[in-house]
A and B are shown apart, each in its own frame.
Chain A
Amino acid sequence: MAGQNCLITNEWICGEYVRTRGQELTDATLQHVGITLASVAIGLLVAFPLALLARRWRGVAGPVLGLTTILYTVPSLAMFSLLVPVFGLSVAVVVTGLVLYSLTILVRNILAGLASVPEEAREAARGMGYGPVRLLFGVELPLALPALMAGLRITTVSTVSLTTVGAIIGYGGLGNLIYEGMHSFFKAQVLTASALCVALAVLADLALLLLQRLLTPWARAGKRKKVAA
């Protein structure tokens, strides 16, 4: 009874809403996670070679960094709108937009991470007979991991948050529920979806932090950890 009332009186917090629309919430959350994962994964796959190219040729670094900074400046609603004629009203619009945003931070952080590798470590690896590929994946990449992971965390958290804007074309995960709730003035739906969205961002951040700890066991042995802002 009391549960029914909170739907009728349109309250912010409503257990009945969560009970009756559980499936809807799960579907939206899954779409949200899917879009975020796809965007961040593709972003990493594109950013890594771009960063390597930018490191190899200084002439590439300027345009790559400049272009990604310009992309970062474009507001999300405009970015998605500009991609609509290219992909139609499909999920590809949202994923592509989010990938383009992620490049800015990922490329910069991978470059910064690779630049922070001590020259001695490279020399030692070369002296041990490491070729360029083994040097990159065996020595440079592990040492660049802290900067890379810091960038990945920033990117992931802002991707989770930006996915909501995809609601404009119907692929916004939890953003779809916020968008619907906005039109029907459904407070419980808007608040629940917003809270889930923030929770997703926090969870993703913590998961990546844990992953970073697991991937860089040597950092824990160090006395002081520098907290990346």
Chain B
Amino acid sequence: MSVLANTWTWLTTGAHWSGADGVWHRLGEHLFLTVVCLAISCAVALPVAVLLGHVGKGGALAVNISNAGRAVPTFAVLVLLLLSPLGTHGSWPTIIALVLFAIPPLLTNAYVGMREVDRDVVEAARGMGMTGRQLIGRVELPLAFPLILTGVRTAAVQVVATTTLAALPGGGGLGRIITAGFRLTDTAQVVSGALLVAALALLVEGAFVAVERLLDPRRRRTRIADRKTGGRGPAAPEKVLPPVGNPA
């Protein structure tokens, strides 16, 4: 197919990788926006979710925010922010939109994670005289950790996707390669840009899955327990739940 051949030619042409419109520069912008926005949204959403989950209030809020995040089109928010007075402030409209759409998965997953901690375990910890702070730090957070990390992964993929869309209103990132390709009616460039974006999203997802495997404290403990008993530990229940996130 000529499209495949042209795409290969585009991707292997050194000139497309260097310069202000080159892949490396756009990738740098993309990664910078992703890391900054993910950090901001984690700093905003996680403490709130952990505290709400600890006191057991605001469940409706967590669910509603997640539903609202699904119903409001990312593209619309990006354009609305661009046309608002904020639009003249460089990357700020993009950053705000990215943070807004990263918060729902973070909030919902962390909240659910905190609430799903076995109530008996919490009661036992209280009975041992743990303070609220100790309870969060030593019991609830470690047990909620896998779901919190799932939320961070979902948010990270979401941010990568939303950053791509931010190219439509003129933001930076790899999406610019796609939009420029459409403007030039250069299908090879469009497909190349799309392949790069998809690869980045999958890499981010894969990296987080690997980190989850490495860090999950419960998994590690199960493995140790396995070794001690010499048998297979209780098999993890297979969850067939929809991922808490949306493609953007």
Q: Could you list which residues of chain A lie within 8 angstroms of chain B, going by C-beta atoms?
A: 69-70, 72-79, 81-82, 84-85, 101, 104-105, 108-109, 111-112, 115, 151, 154, 157-158, 160-162, 164-165, 167-169, 175, 178-179, 181-182, 185, 187, 190-191, 193-194, 197-198, 201-202, 205, 227, 229
Which one of B3, B112, B160, B182 lies within 8 Å of A85 (CB-CB)? B3
Given A161-B74, A178-B76, A229-B63, A75 and B242 contact (CB-CB distance below 8 Å): no
Which one of A82, A105, A187, A194 lies within 8 Å of B194 (CB-CB)? A82
Does A157 contact B70, Cβ atoms closer than 8 Å?
yes
Given A73-B201, A84-B187, A182-B82, A197 and B73 contact (CB-CB distance below 8 Å): yes
How many A-B contacts if CB must be within 8 Å? 163
Given A78-B198, A182-B79, A161 and B191 contact (CB-CB distance below 8 Å): no
Q: Which residues of A contact B246 (CB under 8 A)?
A: 158, 161-162
Q: Report how far A198 CA is from B71 CA in the complex, Å.
A: 6
Which one of B67, B82, B197, B202 lies within 8 Å of A77 (CB-CB)? B197
Does B70 contact A77, Cβ atoms closer than 8 Å?
no
Main secondary structure, interface of B, reads: helix
Q: Could you list which residues of chain B lie within 8 angstroms of chain A, going by C-beta atoms?
A: 1, 3, 63, 66-67, 70-77, 79-80, 82-83, 108, 112, 157, 160-162, 164-165, 167-169, 175, 178-179, 181-182, 187, 190-191, 193-195, 197-198, 201-202, 205, 240-244, 246-248
Does A198 contact B72, Cβ atoms closer than 8 Å?
yes
Does A75 contact B248, Cβ atoms closer than 8 Å?
yes
Q: How far is the CB of B159 from chain A (nearest CB, A)?
A: 10
Does A175 contact B247, Cβ atoms closer than 8 Å?
no
